Every structure is written in C-alpha cells, then in structure tokens.
C-alpha cells in the first residue's frame, strides 16, 4: 500500500512539472482563451423563455411553424375563441386600404390579413377599375403553401383587379426595391424575429413616402386578477389544445412564452428600438 501511495505522489509531481513547462502552459492558455472568446463573442437571444444563439433562432422559429402550418388557422380559432378574427377585421379597417394600393403582408403566412385586405377593397367602389396588389411575405414555405390553397378556395386566384404574389423571404432582409409599397402589415409576427430593429428598418425602406406601417401584436395584461387568469389559460390550456388539434404542444408553449418576452406596449416604440 505504501508503495502505491508514493507512486501516486510521484505521478502527481510529474504532472505538475509538466504544467510548469512553457509549451504545455501555452497550449492550455490557447485552448481556454479561444473557448472564452467564443462564449463572449457569441450573441444570444430569447426563444420563448430559453436563451439560444442568435444564429439559431431563425431555424427554431422555422421549425415551429413548419410543424403547425396545416392547423395554424384552426388553432387560432380555438385559442382565441374566434376573437382573433375581430382583431384582424379592426386592423384592416384602421389601415383603410384604397384601390391602387400596394400591400406587403409580412409574416403573412396563411393569408388572414391579405384576404381581409382583398375583401375590404372588394366592398368599396372601384369605378375606374384601378388595380391593387399584395405581396404575402413569410420565411416559412409551409405557411405560404397553406395560404395559396386558401386563396384558391376563396376564389382570389386570377382576379382582374388585384395581383397576389406569395414570396418566401426574411423580414429582416427583404428582396424588394426601395419605395415599393404603400402599406406594410405584420400581424402576430414581429415577436418571432431575431432583430426587431432590422425588420422596422426594412419596412421603412420598402414603404413609399407617406406609406402606412401597421403592426398587430399581443401585449401584457395589467390587471392582477386578469393576468393570473390569462397565465393559467395560456400555460395550462393552450399547450393541451395544441396537442389535441395540432398534435404538438411545444410550438404553443413557445407561443405563450414569446408573448411574455415581447416588450410591453408602452415600451415598444420605434424610438427605443432604432
């Protein structure tokens, strides 16, 4: 036993002597220095309540909506008891589009805002037969495909007075020319992006002078009792609905978490972001 004990001591001394060697020390310094630099330089952001690398958020968000695209509209009805329809109707009424307008529906996905825009124009007189247009922009192709199917079912394909374009693109880096659109809408989408400032800058770039920027998004509940009830419903019921209707609970857990991470209404000001 004594021999083994002294042998272990000698090995320990030998290891410590190696560490004192300059080349070994430099190797350790180089390794740990690089590791520390990577950790410090790597920018992070939130994905719901999780903290992830900025470079991973687009992929994570894409995966979420890829999973729920086919049941997205049904879940909106179920989660909000259909109230989201009223919100979106009011949203378009406040936009008040006119014939000849050019709308960029960012994060437009399945077309809810676009179809309301088209219906609004349809129900207003167009004696001069002026043509309008809308570009539905979304980063997720599955969502766009659902929107195209809906457009066909609703009879919006090949209309004489309106052009509809479905474009897969990133709201942070739009592939459109400056001053291309008279209106820009983004409904329940801006909280999912990585850089809100880039989205707003791009919106400003593609809008014509005097163009309208319209954002529809969830905010925070101030009343303590209502907030408690809202939290119980959000965290206990909505993920269950996601499992029953969409076969997925994780996307809807992210949904309720992302709402909590989004700035309060009074804090979400362009001057604070740009």
**Is it the case that residue 22 has pLDDT exceeding 90?**
no
Amino acid 26: pLDDT: 39
* Mean pLDDT in residue range 198-225: 95
**Is it the case that residue 65 has pLDDT exceeding 60?**
yes
**Mean pLDDT, rounded, of the chain:** 85
Instruction: Give the pLDDT band of residue 272 (cuts 50, 70, 90).
Output: low
Residue 117 located in a structural domain: yes
Instruction: Give the pLDDT band of residue 18 (cuts 50, 70, 90).
Output: very low
> pTM for the complete prediction?
0.81
Amino acid 128: pLDDT: 87
CATH number of the domain to which 63 belongs? 3.40.50.150
Residue 156 located in a structural domain: yes
Amino acid 62: pLDDT: 93
135: nearest Cα among 76, 186, 99, 84:
186
Lowest-confidence segment of 17-21, 137-141, 159-163 by average pLDDT: 17-21
Residue 9 located in a structural domain: no
Contact 194, 162 (CB under 8 A): no
Lowest-confidence segment of 3-7, 92-96, 203-207 by average pLDDT: 3-7
Amino acid 158: pLDDT: 81
Residue 244 located in a structural domain: no
Instruction: Give the pLDDT band of residue 120 (cuts 50, 70, 90).
Output: very high
* Mean pLDDT in residue range 237-245: 94
Amino acid 196: pLDDT: 93
**Is it the case that residue 220 has pLDDT exceeding 50?**
yes
Higher pLDDT, 249 or 274: 249
**Is it the case that residue 1 has pLDDT exceeding 70?**
no
In angstroms, the Cα distances linking 102 to 68, 94, 121, 182, 186 are: 29, 16, 12, 5, 14
Amino acid 217: pLDDT: 94
Bin 203: left if φ > 0, else alpha if -120 < ψ < 50, else beta.
Answer: alpha
Residue 39 located in a structural domain: no
Residue 226 located in a structural domain: no
Residues 106 and 120: their CA atoms lie apart, in Å, by 18
**Is it the case that residue 92 has pLDDT exceeding 70?**
yes
Strand spans (E) along 121-227: 132-138, 162-168, 181-187, 207-216
Amino acid 15: pLDDT: 43
How many folded domains does the chain comprise? 1
The domain containing residue 115 runs over which residues?
Answer: 46-221+256-271
* Mean pLDDT in residue range 42-54: 89
Residue 16 located in a structural domain: no
Instruction: Give the pLDDT band of residue 38 (cuts 50, 70, 90).
Output: very low
Amino acid 80: pLDDT: 95
For the chain, what percentages of helix, strand and coil (3-state, to nearest 5) are there? 60, 15, 25
Amino acid 107: pLDDT: 97
Residue 140 located in a structural domain: yes
Amino acid 55: pLDDT: 86
Amino acid 13: pLDDT: 55
Contact 109, 138 (CB under 8 A): yes
* Mean pLDDT in residue range 189-216: 96
């Amino acid at each position: 036993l004594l021999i083994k004990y002294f042998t272990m001591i000698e090995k320990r001394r030998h290891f410590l002597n190696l560490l004192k060697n300059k080349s070994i020390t430099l190797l350790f310094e180089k390794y740990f220095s690089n590791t520390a630099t990577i950790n410090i330089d790597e920018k992070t952001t939130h994905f719901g309540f999780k903290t992830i690398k900025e470079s991973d958020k687009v992929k994570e968000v894409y995966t979420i909506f890829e999973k729920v695209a086919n049941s997205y509209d049904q879940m909106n009805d179920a989660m909000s008891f259909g109230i989201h329809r009223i919100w979106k109707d009011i949203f378009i009424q406040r936009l008040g589009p006119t014939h000849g307008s050019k709308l960029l529906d960012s994060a437009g996905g399945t077309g809810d805002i676009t179809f309301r825009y088209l219906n609004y124009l349809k129900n207003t007189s167009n004696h001069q037969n002026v043509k309008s247009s809308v570009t539905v922009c979304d980063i997720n192709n599955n969502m766009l495909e659902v929107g195209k199917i809906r457009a066909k079912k609703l009879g919006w394909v090949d209309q004489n007075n309106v052009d509809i374009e479905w474009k897969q693109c990133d709201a942070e880096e739009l592939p459109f020319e400056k001053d291309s659109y008279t209106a820009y809408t983004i409904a329940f989408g801006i909280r999912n992006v990585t850089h809100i400032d880039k989205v707003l800058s791009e919106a400003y770039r593609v809008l014509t002078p005097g163009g309208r920027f319209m954002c529809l998004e969830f905010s925070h509940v101030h009343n303590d009792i209502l907030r408690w009830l809202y939290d119980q419903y959000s965290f206990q019921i909505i993920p269950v609905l996601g499992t029953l209707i969409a076969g997925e609970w994780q996307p809807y857990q992210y949904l309720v978490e992302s709402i909590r991470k989004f700035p309060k209404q009074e804090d979400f000001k362009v001057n604070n972001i740009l």
